Amino acid sequence: MTLLDRAKEKNLSNRVESVVTTGVINSTITKRMLRSVGNTMPISTNMHNKSLRHSNAGSPARQMSPADVKKYVGEKDGLLAMDLFLVQEFRTFENFEKHQLDENGRDYTIAAVKGSLVNSLKTHWRLYDATTGSVLLSLPYETEEILEAEGLNQNGVNVKLDSLNGNTIDYMMNKLVNQIKADFNPRQIKSNWMYFSKGDKRIERSGQYIKKGAFKKVISILEVNQGSSSKEKIKIRALYNLSTALFLDGQTDAAIKNIRTGLRKYNNKELKRLLTKMEAIR
């Protein structure tokens, strides 16, 4: 997968804000973010060597055309573009009376200043398919950190806030990288599947194989002669076990088709529930 930095603002030098806005004047920090994200991906990645000035006034860059995707993706199957990287800093101050105790334990107050510093990091990502140029995913990620300090005057509070603020951007970047890692990396999810283990010998054997995860053996046992029994109850159980084995073997379409065919013959609640479950997680 190719990683592309489109987060530099094309009009940053002309934009004036009432808040302090940090970053994205050069591409060093955005490339570091891209590199960190690339290192967490479950597939190999390479980073396009040039950062593009495509974002606009704190908004994500526009969606790329299929032609542009092909231009930047190279030989990879997909392109992950960072379309926004906006760091903002907001400071507020409040005067208050701070309670103190003198050497005799008596309470008195002094004039003081309380300050807060809110750092925020907003990013936006698009994952493109290399063949069609279409957007597969469009994902915003953002976080913020709040720092507080007190002092006798605003200048003193600012000094304290600055001393606390040294690694905040890196900390926020790492938080977002971990969120992206969690979304893009496959995770094992446990799921409970019912199956039948009692009936005739075929049902018993198929149940044993399902328990062991030997789904292809279940298919070989039941696929040809799932309806060979004269008892409807056994036929339904064979249909249920076969469909479950097909689905867990990765043959999802065949499993769903098998159940739908069976439901035209048998109005069975277990089969209906199994079909609903399969269609929900297909």
**pLDDT over threshold 70, residue 13:** no
Clarify whether residues 56 and 156 are in a common domain: yes
Confidence label for 238 from pLDDT (cuts 50, 70 and 90): very high
Domain with 73, as residue range(s), is: 2-184
Clarify whether residues 101 and 222 are in a common domain: no
User: Using DSSP, how many helices (H) and how many strands (E) does the chain show?
Assistant: 9, 6
Clarify whether residues 137 and 246 are in a common domain: no
What is the spatial distance between Cα 30 and Cα 8, in angstroms, rounded to a whole number? Answer: 8
Q: What is the mean pLDDT of residues 208-235?
A: 85
Q: What is the mean pLDDT of residues 48-59?
A: 86
Residue showing tokens 């800093």 = 89
Last residue of a domain, one of 120, 150, 184: 184
**Contact between 204 and 241 (Cβ < 8 Å):** no
Q: What is the pLDDT of residues 170-196, one digit of tens each?
A: 999 999 999 999 888 877 777 889 999
The domain that holds 210 is classified in CATH as 1.25.40
Q: What is the pLDDT of residues 72-122, one digit of tens each?
A: 998 889 999 999 999 999 999 999 999 999 888 899 999 999 999 999 999
193 lies in some domain: no
Q: What is the mean pLDDT of residues 36-56?
A: 89
Number of domains in the chain: 2
21 lies in some domain: yes
Average pLDDT, the chain: 88
